[in-house]
Amino acid sequence: ARSIATFNYASYHNLDEIYDFIDLLAAEKPELVSKIQIGESYEGRPIKVLKFSTGGTNRPAIWIDTGIHSREWVTQASGAYFAKKIIDSYGQDPSLTSILDNFDIFLEIVTNPDGFAFTHSKNRMWRKTRSKNSGSLCIGVDPNRNWDAGFGVAGSSGNPCSETYRGPYANSEPEVKAIVDFVKSHGNIKAFVSIHSYSQLLLYPFGYTSKKAADQAELDAVAKSAVEALASLHGTKYKYGSIITTIYQASGGTIDWTYEQGIKYSFTFELRDTGRYGFLLPASQIIPTAEETWLGLMVIMEHTRDHPY
């Protein structure tokens, strides 16, 4: 019988395999894990989120998502690794145990299911959602330009054929709207980490404006510690900073919106590599990438635990 113990974390998987994995996890560890559906994608696929909880009601929470850009396969693969790491560490690792004794963790592994399915079936290089754009032959919206934070200002495109097309209006994409509604209804999320690839960066708000985040000094210090922890395992070098100063102006981005919702600890990772394989990172690098990223995530989660607000 298939089990989370026999799931191959060192390989890429398609949507059905990852959704099976999510179901298995909830079935094998019901005391720690449950799965929730926060909505449906444009093409009607369920949007599944894993909830790791040791009790309580509406506890403060930490959100982690991977795969919002569907072709960034190492991120969804890392998400599966994180899920297993959380259940293996609870009760074993004192730090993770204390995090889970006080916080819930929400993990969305396939944040763009339509796009991800499309990378397996028709176009490995697909990045956006699969929504139809009226008046255009071009398909899809960049789900990391569709959030209501600086939506429509410079840093995204109004051209439906562009890879950074912002969409007809903020939250037009059901994949984005589902998270927006969840975050608003939960109301007690204290950290939000959205994981992309590639370039080896750890970024914090803002992307749509050069205005500094009110907590910029603290976010910078946390990012510094996180990239040091990440590098300690395999020596993988990361840069860190605000989105606009580290890469470019990007409007309508996820963590700009979450930060403006009051979620102070809002970060984006850009995982391996810096440009040997890019989005086609060999499967042999999944585990090294995921395990080093986990160390960076732990720094962010520990800081969140130790600095209630």
Partner 1 sequence: TETFVGHQVLRIFAADEFQVEQVKGLEDLEHLQLDFWREPIHPEASIDVRVPFHSLQAVKVFLESNSIRYGIMIEDVQSLVDEEKLSMSHNSR
* Residue 14 touches partner 1, criterion: CB under 8 A: yes
The stretch among 78-86, 119-127, 185-193, 300-308 that binds partner 1 (CB under 8 A) is 119-127
Only segment of 42-50, 90-98, 120-128, 210-218 that touches partner 1 (CB under 8 A): 120-128
The 146-165 site mask, x for binding partner 1 (CB under 8 A), equals ---------------x-xx-
Which residue's CB is nearer to partner 1, number 163 or number 291?
A: 163
Q: Pick the binder of partner 1 from 91, 158, 187, 282 (CB under 8 A).
A: 282
- At its nearest, how many Å lie between partner 1 and the CB of residue 165? 13
Examine residue 210 and tell whether it contacts partner 1 (CB under 8 A). no
Which residues neighbour 33 within 8 Å (Cβ) at sequence distance 6 or greater? 25, 26, 50, 51, 52, 83, 87
Indicate which single residue of 184, 232, 248, 307 sits in contact with partner 1 (rule: CB under 8 A). 248
Minimum distance, C-beta of residue 280 to partner 1, in the bound complex (Å)? 4
Binding of residue 245 to partner 1 (CB under 8 A): no
Q: Smaller CB distance to partner 1: residue 198 or 208?
A: 198
b/e code 244-277 from CB counts within 10 Å (16+ = b): bebbebbbbbbbbbbbbbebbbbbbbbbbbeeee
* Among 12, 52, 82, 206, interactor with partner 1 by CB under 8 A: 12
| Residues identified as active-site | 270
- What would the 3-class secondary structure string for the chain be? CCCCCCCCCCCCCCHHHHHHHHHHHHHHCCCCEEEEEEEECCCCCEEEEEEECCCCCCCCEEEEEECCCCCCHHHHHHHHHHHHHHHHHCCCCHHHHHHHHHCEEEEECCCCHHHHHHHHHCCCCCCCCCCECCCCCCECCCCCCCCCCCCCCCCCECCCCCCCECCCCCCCCHHHHHHHHHHHHHCCEEEEEEEEECCCEEEECCCCCCCCCCCHHHHHHHHHHHHHHHHHHHCCCCEEEEHHHHCCCCCCCHHHHHHHCCCCEEEEEEECCCCCCHHHCCHHHHHHHHHHHHHHHHHHHHHHHHCCC
Instruction: Please tell me whether residue 21 binds partner 1 under the rule CB under 8 A.
Output: no
Choice from 32, 231, 233, 247 touching partner 1 (CB under 8 A): 247
Does 2 bind partner 1 (CB under 8 A)? Our answer is no
Per CB under 8 A, 309 contacts partner 1: no
Contact with partner 1 (CB under 8 A) among 11, 95, 98, 232: 11
36 binds partner 1 (CB under 8 A): no
Residue 84 near partner 1 by CB under 8 A: no
Q: Does 121 bind partner 1 (CB under 8 A)?
A: yes
Selected binder of partner 1 within 28, 37, 88, 125 (CB under 8 A): 125
- Please give the residue ranges that form the binding site for partner 1 (CB under 8 A): 8, 11-14, 17, 121-125, 161, 163-164, 198-199, 247-248, 275-280, 282-283
